[in-house]
Chains A and B, each alone.
Chain A
Amino acid sequence: MGPTGVEGFMYPNEVELQWSILIVLYPFITGLVAGAFILASLERVFNVSAVKPTYRLALLTALAFLLVAPLPLQLHLGHPERSYEMYLTPHTSSAMAMFGFVYLWYLMVVLLLEIWLDYRVEIVEFSQTARAPWRWVYRILTLGSRNISPRARRIDERVGYVITVIGIPSAFLLHGYVGFIFGSVKANAWWSTPLMPVVFLFSAMVSGIAAVMLIYMAASKVRKVAIDMRCLDTICQYLFYVFVIDFSLEMLDLIHRVYEADESFRSLDFMVHTRLWASQVVLQILVGTVTPLVLLGANQVFKFREGARKAMYAAAGCLTMVGIFAMRWNVVIGGQLFSKSYLGYTSYKLQFATREGLGASIVLMLLPFAILWALLKLLPPWLEEKEPAGI
């Protein structure tokens, strides 16, 4: 009799999964960052003025999630106190070491600079109007300059534009790299495909756009202000387009696997029809992809009333998040459930109150919202407001 949850033959080092739910969270969170930034760039670079109400919100959302993105990895490490060594002595053969620099570049050079340039006028104003001790915080953030003349603002605008232009490939690189890390594991048939970075990238855009849309809707409800329906309709239009590309790419990968039918196919096919049926076919494809696509697609064809549109967009956004999380789950967990011998399957038992359990994952998923709340208080993104809320 084999170990519990094992069916058929597994090599000894395959029975227990090494990459847990925390490694599912890592691509999920970085995807939200990349997607939120792409949404912000729609307004800045591609002049889609309809989405302007979400521009700053998208930037702050990207920052809040980016700050949390490395934490699941740190919690997964046996010796997190050594992780900084990756920056000191990086090796080009280590995808994670290179990813560390991509992460730092994106955080320090792209996101923080763009937010600073965009908020500089408010920062200078708040440094004079806010009460202590927040006034000191804003004074530090001004970096000693109070010049917000129209010419200085034009220069900020131009520099910000250049940073966003650099930021778009950086955001692509950030999440493409996450897909690359999985796609380059040639020993794993479930992961090893050059399509992986592209699929990850488009699914990141889908999840990030959906997340900012839901946060915008929730924030409007909490603030008791009307949702800008032109903005919401435009976001959902782009969400639909990107989702169609993402779904097409995933189906292309699936068709390619079915047609190629290499030596791993029977094993992977069996896995999809048994252990991954609920999470892949039901949650990811039917509930998390086809249903939101139908909801979003219907809005491109028919004209619904405002209330119905809001409900359909909210439902589509929530289901999209479920679908993209399920996609990350199926990639990370699914890739470890089958044996390299293709003769057996193992199980993943999710625990709760452990270092890599569900409890830690829930805390990690709530943390970006707490950071976002603090950022929204410090740097209110609402265009009509001029006073920092609660300060």
Chain B
Amino acid sequence: MSSRLKDAAHLIPLVLVVLAGVAVFLLFRQVLVPKTFGQYGHYRAAALDDIRVRPVSFAGQATCAMCHDEVATTRSKGKHRGVSCEACHGPLAKHADDPAAMKPKKLAGTGLCQGCHKADKAKPAYFPQVVPAEHSGGAECLSCHQPHSPQMQ
């Protein structure tokens, strides 16, 4: 070994330590990254199977209309035609599977309506919104409006 190389020999363990660090990192990566990661995109492909086995919560608009066609027809002609049934009534897949096993809860009218229609500066001006105390003097919304087609009754 030439004398110059001999005087630089102490750097070899340093390089080996750095390389060992990189090797440990790559080894950990090999062990810890799930096998299906990156198969379809930047996620674990097997997560799709995990999600698929979860119970379905929402029945979907078409399923509701199969039994409740009268309400569905009323709704389709009113201003709420763009609002799906379960947006207000909640997830009802269990009810759709067995209507007797799970009955939807009766909705609290005024509070639910205010969720969308209470006046708020952040909402666009064209959206129907009211200051409840001025608009109805505390009366229930449902005493004048029909929720499935909310024009004045």
Contact = CB atoms under 8 A, between A and B. Distances in A.
Interface stretch (A87-95, A178-186, A210-218, A375-383): A87-95
A155 B10 CA distance: 10
B28 interface: yes
B153 interface: no
A109 B18 contact: yes
Contacts of B10: 120, 143, 145, 147, 152
Contacts of A155: 7-8, 11
Interface string B18-46: 10010001001100110001100010000
Contacts of A151: 3-4, 7
Interface in B45-63: none
Contacts of A145: 9-10, 13
Nearest to B6: A147
Contacts of B8: 152, 155
A46 interface: no
A108 interface: yes
Given A151-B4, A151-B7, A155-B7, A89 B14 contact: no
Contacts of B33: 88-89
Contact of A341 (B9, B14, B122): B122
Nearest to B34: A89
B27 to A, nearest CB: 12
Contacts of A109: 18
A159 interface: yes
A113 interface: yes
Interface of B: 3-4, 6-11, 13-14, 17-18, 21, 25, 28-29, 32-33, 37-38, 42, 120-122
29 contacts: A9-B120, A11-B122, A85-B32, A87-B29, A88-B29, A88-B32, A88-B33, A89-B38, A91-B42, A108-B18, A113-B14, A116-B14, A143-B10, A143-B13, A143-B14, A143-B17, A145-B9, A145-B13, A147-B6, A147-B9, A149-B7, A151-B3, A151-B4, A151-B7, A152-B10, A155-B7, A159-B11, A343-B121, A343-B122
Interface of A: 9, 11, 85, 87-89, 91, 108-109, 113, 116, 120, 143-145, 147, 149, 151-152, 155, 159, 341, 343
> Which 10 residue pairs are nearest across A and B when measured between Cβ atoms?
A145-B10, A143-B13, A151-B7, A152-B7, A9-B121, A155-B8, A147-B10, A88-B33, A88-B29, A91-B42
